[in-house]
Amino acid sequence: MLDSSARTIRDDIAAGNVSAVDVCRTFLERIDAVNPSLNAFNLVAADRALARAAEIDRQRAHGVSAGPLMGVPVAVKDNLCVRGMRTTASSRILERFVPPYDATAVERIEAAGAVIVGKTSCDEFAMGSSNENSAYGPVCNPWALDRAPGGSSGGSAAAVAARCAPLALGSDTGGSIRQPAAFCGVVGLKPTYGRVSRYGLLAFASSLDQIGPICGTVSDAALALGVLAGPDPADATSSPRPVPDFTAALTGDITGLRIGVPRAFVAEGVDDRVRSAFDEALDTLRRAGARLVDIELPHAKYAIPVYYLVATAEASSNLARYDGVRYGHRTADDGRLELQDMYRRTRDEGFGAEVKRRIMLGTYVLSAGYYDAFYLKAQQVRTLLRQDYDAVFEKTDVVAMPTTPTPPFRLGEKTDDPLQMYLADVFTVSANLVGLPAISVPCGFATETDGAAPQRLPVGLQLTGRLFDEATLLNAADAYERLTDWHVQRPG
């Protein structure tokens, strides 16, 4: 059962082959067994999950029709609000925050029958690429415990890879679903900006943030997106566009599909093993009938600086609300502290180093003297990047790149060098800046032999699609998955 897809588990429960409670117990036992060595969960909600599973079994006994995620255990990134369940964004400042409401994404998966098993660790406020910025300790990569699972949704990706749940929710601002999915050898989908409501997601950068699934197969990503997608009056940026049947789009046929490959952009700084896995994946797609088209993304080389200006600017504004007054941590106050000192101490105690760095950088680029030179300029280059993609999608249907330039790096390897860490996002941030949907699927392994025992390190293939065309994107990814067996490999 631990190796089953969400879809299979749902079908088995709906058919009465297994009870939701048994499924839930099996996954909770798995979490107990492996989480001590992974630290993927900030909170395991065993009692709530079992009660919920029992409720689903009762509904089934009474003939209530099955939801698309009936009885499926789901792990939820700890920056998504679940009513009554501690939600910390892996920050000290929200150490004791218990939301009085559900995120829309959470409400929708539960309405579809999902059983939330716990909250997964992430980089603090989703800022990071290695999960090492969590206030509650790093997460270990299930494939190599001394390596990073990626970030910021590192807990969700590690949990799925280690079969603690067949499905997890993550959020992606600059790669936080796709990069950890690639590092952990699982599937991660960032939907089009506006496809999924952000209501109840603790905001990092509001023009970039998007919620999406991390799971074992493309078909499960299609299933989850169908549940998550659609307009929400609580999020004005959620799109009213109709939601197609993503599962029906998975035909396995990609004959004639035009796949753009930005050769010059992926030429530099890419690990040889990643490159050969990528080349091999392109070959597989070509043999399946797709047409590879050379494309150029002339402004993609500016995507990292643009992203780290726009994202930090928005973060500095979004995180202003953590002031010790309305909610969250407040410094010990004997009543004699000046207001400004209370704010300063609260924020100094509550935020970690990376979050502080970004608040300072973001405040700086928005300040009167530097706004035009940095923030405004970044927004202008963002428009040029969008025009690059507009041109590319006139002659291609999807764009292929490696998800990350390297296989998973060692824990601690990049923590002293923020710039090196930021470069891990070189292939993922463009999709967020332009709003495009993008998916990472397993496409091979890099073998590392310099340790005591050889390690198999997952590599991801990233496909990017047109705005709101997740159907084509998922079909391409699913067709690739059908021809390969990377996604069925499991860590030891």
DSSP secondary structure code for residue 306 in this structure? H
Q: What does the alpha-carbon distance between residue 281 and residue 442 come to, in Å, rounded to a whole number?
A: 10
CA 155 to chain centre: 10
Taking CB under 6 A as the rule, which mask of x and - marks residues 291-330 in contact with ligand GLN? --------------------x-------------------
User: Distance between the two ends of the chain, CA-based, in angstroms?
Assistant: 17
Amino acid residing at 433: L
- Contacting ligand GLN (CB under 6 A), which of 68, 71, 113, 174? 174
- Contacting ligand GLN (CB under 6 A), which of 152, 403, 455, 475? 152
Quick check: 126 binds ligand GLN (CB under 6 A)? yes
Quick check: 90 binds ligand GLN (CB under 6 A)? no
Q: Which residue has the tokens 């923030």?
A: 375
The DSSP-derived string for 74-141 is EEEETTB-BTTB---TT-GGGTT---SS--HHHHHHHHTT-EEEEEE--SGGG--SSSTT-TT-PPPB
Helices and strands: H and E segment counts in the chain = 15, 11
CB of residue 35 to ligand GLN, shortest distance in Å: 22
Q: What does the alpha-carbon distance between residue 397 and residue 470 come to, in Å, rounded to a whole number?
A: 11
Quick check: 173 binds ligand GLN (CB under 6 A)? yes
- Is 420 in contact with 132 (CB distance < 8 Å)? no
CB of residue 338 to ligand GLN, shortest distance in Å: 33
Contact region with ligand GLN (CB under 6 A), list: 52-60, 169-177, 194-202, 243-251: 169-177
Nearer to ligand GLN by Cβ, of 127 and 309: the residue is: 127
Quick check: 352 binds ligand GLN (CB under 6 A)? no
CB of residue 173 to ligand GLN, shortest distance in Å: 3
Instruction: List, in sequence order, the alpha helices (H) in 171-271.
Output: 178-184, 218-228
Quick check: 176 binds ligand GLN (CB under 6 A)? yes
Quick check: 425 binds ligand GLN (CB under 6 A)? yes
Q: Which of 266, 244, 253, 212 lies closest to 436 in space, CA to CA?
A: 212
CB of residue 321 to ligand GLN, shortest distance in Å: 18
Quick check: 129 binds ligand GLN (CB under 6 A)? yes
Amino acid residing at 251: T
Amino acid residing at 225: L
Quick check: 172 binds ligand GLN (CB under 6 A)? yes
- Contacting ligand GLN (CB under 6 A), which of 31, 44, 49, 127? 127
Quick check: 128 binds ligand GLN (CB under 6 A)? yes
Taking CB under 6 A as the rule, which mask of x and - marks residues 200-239 in contact with ligand GLN? ----x-----------------------------------
- Classify residue 443 by burial, with Cβ atoms within 10 Å: 0-12, 13-18, 19+: buried
Contact region with ligand GLN (CB under 6 A), list: 7-15, 17-25, 124-132, 394-402: 124-132
CB of residue 105 to ligand GLN, shortest distance in Å: 15
Could you list the residues that contact ligand GLN (CB under 6 A)?
Answer: 126-129, 152, 172-176, 204, 311, 425
